[in-house]
Structure 1
Amino acid sequence: MLRTFALLGLLAAMPAAAVAQSTPAGAQQAESGKPPQRIRSITLTGNQTCPKSSDPDAEIVVCARVGEPYRIPKELRDDKPIPAQNQSWVNRTAVADDAGRRAGGLPDTCSPVGSGGQTGCAKMRAEQYAAEKAEAKRQERLIP
């Protein structure tokens, strides 16, 4: 008999507890199944805070940060050539292959040895010119 009264008391208290709980505005919108009227996308920089929506049922605010706040400035970045011991094995193999081709006097190597060695001299000069231009541009960027 005591169990019956306890069970009836719990059942009577449940609707009151459900009414006492408040649902957030976003949950009400999700329960209704209707899409929001507006989605506002905001890009934040520095230490800006994301603004709150004035009407959560009609508007969703999406915030995203741009850039890295503690990024190293371009002037201080190290963009020098990567040392050979820190390069991938593919690059190291390509350098070794090129050295072997030059030593053998194969075509496109600009080597005085072999029949096709002279054909790569123009290619080699063009590569040197491009490397010199890239280095000059890098040095120019370092000057404030």
Structure 2
Amino acid sequence: MTRLAFSGLSALLLLTAASAAHADTAAATPARQSALIVYGNDPCPKGEGDEIVVCAREPESERYRIPKKLRKTKPDETGARSWSDRVPVLEEASRPQRPNSCTTVGASGQTGCTQAMLRQWFAERRAVEADNREVP
């Protein structure tokens, strides 16, 4: 019985010490923190009261520029492609919802299986002809 009481008392003391340590660290941290980017020779603003202000300095030439993360464009974005390249992709994306699509989705979807087979045959034929043209 004394062993149970001792373990309960020691657990209570540990919890009290932990909450006191947490209260000390909570009181030590400031209420407000600010992170800013300053450009050129602009001064870093001072904190009011217990506020912490952290400043990152960038060159003056970067002041009105788009951030570096957003400057680069990906090569396969739709803005970098012509409309003649986009049309087949858009047609293929909307094909399952249209009639004659050889699918169970959409109205009359089952009616296009022969057309799908012919499209595949013509695409394979174009690929073979392109390969034959490239070989001297």
Structure with bigger helix share is 2
- Same-fold call, TM cutoff 0.5: no
Please report the TM-score for the alignment, with normalisation by the length of structure 1.
0.33
